[in-house]
Structure 1
Amino acid sequence: MADRAITVAAWESLFRAQVTVMRALAAEFPSEVLSLNEYDVLFNISRAPGRRLRLKELNRSVLITQPSVSRLVDRLTARGLIAKSHDPEDGRGTIVALTTEGFDLFRRVAITHMQTINRHVGHALDDEELRNLTELCDRLRRSVAPAAARE
């Protein structure tokens, strides 16, 4: 097990970097089109097979609470960006899917957002450092995920 002081220092550094980068990305995000939370929902659905995802799975993936996700999904549905349907495998569940309009809008915003990410993150680290950062973050997330799933 790692030294506690080193662990806390690493966490503080990771947290401060995440906050700083997120603030920069939020400041340059095309929010007149989508909010960051709306983008996050569309992003997660876009990565799912067939661009369809159970609402329960979406709730596990996004950075906002379940009631907020439900309201946001309703707003995106009203705008025609996603469609909701009953889960045929579980009548209590809901499937959310990107519409063609939703996917087109997501792609347009994603291009701009990726340029901003590249400017703030890609210029600070080289390819090898970015691969290492990805591996370390994935390992950290996987180590915490089992404990979070039990809660």
Structure 2
Amino acid sequence: MNTNVKLANASWEALFTAHTALMRGFKEADSWSEVSMSEYDVLYTLSKQREAIRLADLREGVLLSQPALSRLVDRLVCRGLISRVTDDSDRRAVRLALTDEGREVQRIAGMAHAADVARGMRALDDDEMRQLQRICEKLAQSTRPE
């Protein structure tokens, strides 16, 4: 495929500008009384897992550096929202999982954040949201290693 560089960059800039504007609005919302957006991101990523996961696997789902993620996980463990469990396949490693309290905090913040997201997306009709979802999924899929 011969990609038009100018159009590709204009499209990326539009996507990035929309993302920045939406994230700014989400950050200013009242959804973050119990946890910060970054903490919620970690709790949400863990909530989607069927079992405890390694820190490296968690890092694939969040936009934090490894040192920043390690510090954040330490804080969430101290608050009782995440637990560390020994990895049965490698006794030297640990896996991370939500505690019951962490799951409840994530659920409550998630409901508020979902309402914020719906308000943020109100400029689009249902067909446009479906089209945006397909485009974003296609972009995400194209960046995954084979």
TM-score between the two structures when normalised by the length of structure 1:
0.90
Conserved? CA contact 1:82–1:102, under 8 Å: yes
Cα distance in structure 2, aligned partners of 1:80 and 1:98? 9
1-structure distance, mates of 2:116, 2:31: 11
1:146 corresponds in structure 2 to 145
Give 5+ residue unaligned stretches, structure 2. Answer: none
Letter in 1 for 2:89: E
In structure 1, the partner of 2:113 is 113
Q: Deviations over 1:62-87 (max 9, x none)?
A: 01111111111111011000101221
Q: Does 1:33 align with 2:37?
A: no
Q: Tell me how far apart the structure 2 counterparts of residues 29 and 66 of structure 1 sit (CA, whole Å).
A: 28
Equivalent residue letter for 2:100 = T
Runs of 4+ in 1 over 6 A off after TM superposition: none
As a proportion of its length, which structure holds more helix? 1
Give the secondary-structure state (helix, strand or coil) at the position aligned to 1:10.
Answer: helix
Question: Does the 8 A contact of 2:32 with 2:109 survive in 1?
Answer: no
| Matched residue, 1:8 | 9
Please say if residues 55 and 93 of structure 1, whose CA atoms lie closer than 8 Å, have aligned partners that are also in contact: no
For residues 31 and 4 of structure 2, the distance between their equivalents in structure 1, rounded to whole angstroms, comes to: 42
- Amino acid across the alignment from 2:53: L
The CA distance in 1 between the partners of 2:73 and 2:97, in whole Å, is 10
Give the TM-score normalised by structure 2. Answer: 0.93
* 1:91 equivalent in alignment to 2:91: yes
